[in-house]
């Protein structure tokens, strides 16, 4: 009881920490009333080289498999942009006020399978989100999103499954939607896969 395994500590901490931290809160008047016009994604200079290198590896793998159109082989920028745009449009309203979303990714870290089995590891997608009024260019809100998912042992890896990067991107998009005051997406169970949408 004195020493908890590292992966349990990560799980406990990730459960206690709020994934978003407001830098400039959205005004009450703007909550839930903005229509998403565009989403753009860029990489922070600190980790840009590593992120671009990971994208290049996916591109090479896609070429080898002849799977250029599949989202799991797209660059993180392209995959996150597509997922966030679709998810936010699903959640926004059809009013006359618009917003542009700009995401700057600091870090994408995928759990190492060997480390996850031995001591636990985690997946992470983190970055800064800025939301602008497209007409006035006013910064409506700015916040930091840090999604961490723990993966410990064989069971943790089995539960983790495939499509981790895409799942992190969807969670990231949902936290943006929450910060913008959009209604929650109703979760449905798909009979064929048994997964939540």
Per-residue pLDDT, 194:
45
Per-residue pLDDT, 94:
78
Per-residue pLDDT, 93:
83
Question: How long, in residues, is the chain?
Answer: 197
Per-residue pLDDT, 102:
98
Instruction: Give residues with Cβ within 8 angstroms of 85, minimum separation 6.
Output: 36, 38, 39
Query: What is the fold of 6-46+76-179?
Result: Rossmann fold (3.40.50)
Domain boundaries, the chain: 6-46+76-179
Question: What span, in angstroms and rounded, lies between the C-alpha atoms of 74 and 77?
Answer: 8
Residue 196 Cα distances to 31, 61, 93, angstroms: 26, 28, 23
Question: What span, in angstroms and rounded, lies between the C-alpha atoms of 147 and 123?
Answer: 8
Phi-psi label, residue 93: left if phi above 0, alpha if psi -120 to 50, beta otherwise = beta
Regions of the chain short of the pLDDT cut 50: 1-16, 113-119, 152-161, 188-195
Per-residue pLDDT, 72:
85
Per-residue pLDDT, 159:
40
Q: Find out whether 44 and 125 touch, Cβ atoms under 8 Å.
A: no
Per-residue pLDDT, 153:
43
Per-residue pLDDT, 4:
40
Provide the H-helix boundaries in 45-145: 48-65, 76-91, 113-118
């Amino acid at each position: 009881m004195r020493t908890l395994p590292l992966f349990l500590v990560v799980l406990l901490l990730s459960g206690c920490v709020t994934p978003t931290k407001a830098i400039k809160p959205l005004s009450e008047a703007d909550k839930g009333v903005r229509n998403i016009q565009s989403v753009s994604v860029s990489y922070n200079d600190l980790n840009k080289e590593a992120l671009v290198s990971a994208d290049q590896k996916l591109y090479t793998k896609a070429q080898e498999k002849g799977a250029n159109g599949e989202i799991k082989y797209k660059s993180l920028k392209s995959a996150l942009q597509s997922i966030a745009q679709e998810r936010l449009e699903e959640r926004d309203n059809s009013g006359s006020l618009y917003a542009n979303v700009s995401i700057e990714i600091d870090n994408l870290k995928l759990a190492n399978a060997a480390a996850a089995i031995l001591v636990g590891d985690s997946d992470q997608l983190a970055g800064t989100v800025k939301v602008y009024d497209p007409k006035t260019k006013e910064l409506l809100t700015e916040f930091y999103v840090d999604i961490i998912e723990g993966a410990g042992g064989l069971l943790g890896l089995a539960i983790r499954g495939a499509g981790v990067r895409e799942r992190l991107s969807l969670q990231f998009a949902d936290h943006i939607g929450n910060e913008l005051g959009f209604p929650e997406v109703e979760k449905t169970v798909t009979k064929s896969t048994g997964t939540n949408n």
